[in-house]
Amino acid sequence: MRPYREGITRCADCDVALVNELAPVAYDEALTPLTERIDPFTLGELTDRLEKAGVPYIVEAGTALALLDHPELQMSQPDDWRARVWIATAFAGRAQRIWDDLVDRQRLEGPDPSS
């Protein structure tokens, strides 16, 4: 990023107006994180329930998720698989009830014998 002198209001290269500070990204307000750590089995259960309840969601998953938060990291091997689930903010209350119910049921049933 090239620094500009006081009084310069437009980019000399592309003629775009300069700003002092970037506006927040729209999805920062449109999406709310529901969970940042979830195993594949629970993810399947959760997305099934969200679908049935009509809750819009996004899943970020993989073994390089850390790079989304810290692109400057140098990875020498894959991280453990993990996933994050984001919910449309307008549905956050409904999604939280679904998540809480799922966690409570898993706690009562105990660990999955297939894992």
Q: What is the pLDDT of residue 19?
A: 74
Number of domains forming the structure of the chain:
1
Distance CA 40, CA 100 (A): 17
Which residue bears the tokens 């940042």? 36
Residue 12: inside a domain, yes or no?
Answer: no
Residue 95: inside a domain, yes or no?
Answer: yes
Residue 20: inside a domain, yes or no?
Answer: no
The answer to pTM > 0.75 is no
Q: What is the pLDDT of residue 4?
A: 62
CA dihedral (65, 109, 45, 27) positive or negative: negative
* Domain with 86 in it: 26-109
Query: What CATH number should be reported for the domain holding residue 74?
Result: 3.30.70.790
Which residue bears the tokens 């089995």? 41
Distance CA 2, CA 71 (A): 21
Mean pLDDT per block of 10 residues along the chain (115 residues) reads 68 77 65 90 95 96 90 91 94 96 89 55
